[in-house]
């Protein structure tokens, strides 16, 4: 697969929950998205040492639109204070 067709990472989270929410949000907007993660982390339920890292990928033609959508609202899965100065455990790639 050439680099121009290789999916690009638009979001990274520690654990699958936030990544699943982001994937669903992108798909609801008509953007195909997929998750990439180490399988051992999911099988054994490990989220330490990078094993819980989950990346959300989209086709390159959707990258800019996906980033705009994610910049509007990043899911908060903590205690509800992520918008009030807390640092979420996710990052926009």
Does residue 11 contact residue 90 with C-beta atoms inside 8 Å?
Answer: yes
How far is residue 83's CA from residue 8's CA, in Å, rounded to a whole number? 26
Q: Are 26 and 36 in contact (CB under 8 A)?
A: no
The pLDDT, as a whole number, for residue 81 is 37
Residue 13 in this model has a pLDDT that exceeds 80 = yes
pLDDT over threshold 50, residue 87? no
CATH of 8-76, one of 1.10.3470, 3.40.50, 3.30.70, 3.90.380: 3.30.70
Q: pLDDT digit string (tens) for 28-52?
A: 999 999 999 887 666 666 656 667 7
- What is the pLDDT of the chain when averaged over all its residues? 78
Q: Kindly list the domain boundaries of the chain, sorted by start residue.
A: 8-76
**If you write DSSP's letter for every residue of 5-60 in order, what string do you get?**
TS-EEEEEEESHHHHHHHHHHHHHTT---EEE--HHHHHHT--STTTTEEEEEE-G
């Amino acid at each position: 697969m050439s680099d121009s067709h290789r999916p690009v990472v638009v979001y990274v989270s520690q654990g699958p929950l936030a990544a699943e929410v982001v994937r669903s949000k992108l798909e609801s907007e008509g953007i195909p998205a997929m998750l990439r993660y180490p399988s051992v982390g999911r099988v054994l339920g490990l989220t330490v040492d990078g094993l819980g890292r989950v990346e959300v990928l989209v086709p390159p033609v959707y990258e800019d639109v996906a980033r705009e959508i994610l910049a509007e609202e990043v899911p908060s899965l903590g205690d509800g204070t992520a918008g009030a100065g807390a640092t979420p455990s996710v990052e926009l790639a």
